[in-house]
């Protein structure tokens, strides 16, 4: 299997000019980029997927996400990750940036999280799961999602980042004139 390479960044997202290798220790003060994609339907339902049992946080629920690979922008990484993990195709111009946040990693990987909201039509695209990554999916209305993310069934890191930025998500979802009862 080929090694996954990441670009190295400082905390502000400036390239450092060298590569990182997934699974290898990262030097102190070095960060890599991660994307999280909140995929929503025009009627306000949000896609959540269940992690494969062999992955860390196995069988927990999450939104789509992953590391940005060498040479990609965060938007390119978001488009790729959404396609790989769910079969949903979107264009970069469709991505709505929600936040960028630096988080020291408990797994040894300091990460710069780029979060996006994107709308897709499930009547036009079939959701398919990536083998070895996800084992289930569901579409939750916005109010149900906000309750579900508070449960122990959801990955804690995503929950914490969502709650810190919930007002921005609510604003973007509301801008789409979605009933958020």
Find the radius of gyration of the CA atoms of the chain: 16
Q: Directed axis angle between helix 166-175 and helix 156-164, to 10°?
A: 70
Give tens-digit pLDDT for 51-75: 999 998 999 999 999 999 999 999 9
Question: Is residue 180 predicted with pLDDT exceeding 80?
Answer: no
- In sign, the C-alpha dihedral spanning 77, 79, 84, 86 is positive
**Prediction pTM value:** 0.92
Summarize the confidence of residues 93-113 as an average pLDDT: 88
The Cα 68–Cα 37 span in angstroms is 12
The tens digit of pLDDT for each residue in 135-179 reads 999 999 999 999 999 999 999 999 999 999 999 999 999 876 544
Rounded to a whole number of angstroms, the distance between the first and last alpha carbons of the chain is 47
The mean pLDDT value for 124-144 works out to 94
């Amino acid at each position: 299997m080929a090694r996954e390479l990441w670009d190295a960044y400082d905390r502000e997202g400036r390239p450092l000019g060298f590569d990182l290798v997934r699974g290898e220790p990262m030097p102190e003060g070095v960060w890599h980029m991660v994307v999280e994609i909140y995929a929503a339907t025009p009627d306000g339902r949000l896609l959540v997927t269940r992690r494969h049992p062999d992955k860390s946080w196995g069988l927990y629920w999450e939104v789509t996400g992953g590391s940005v690979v060498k040479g990609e922008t965060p938007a390119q990484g978001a488009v790729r990750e959404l396609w790989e993990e769910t079969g949903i195709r979107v264009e970069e111009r469709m991505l709505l940036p929600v936040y960028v946040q630096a988080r020291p990693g408990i797994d040894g990987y300091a990460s710069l999280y780029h979060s996006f909201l994107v709308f897709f039509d499930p009547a036009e695209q079939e959701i398919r799961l990536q083998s070895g990554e996800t084992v289930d999916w569901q579409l939750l209305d916005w109010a149900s999602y906000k309750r579900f993310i508070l449960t122990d069934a959801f990955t804690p890191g995503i929950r914490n980042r969502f709650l810190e930025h919930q007002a921005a998500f609510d604003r973007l979802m509301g801008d789409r004139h979605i009933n958020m009862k």
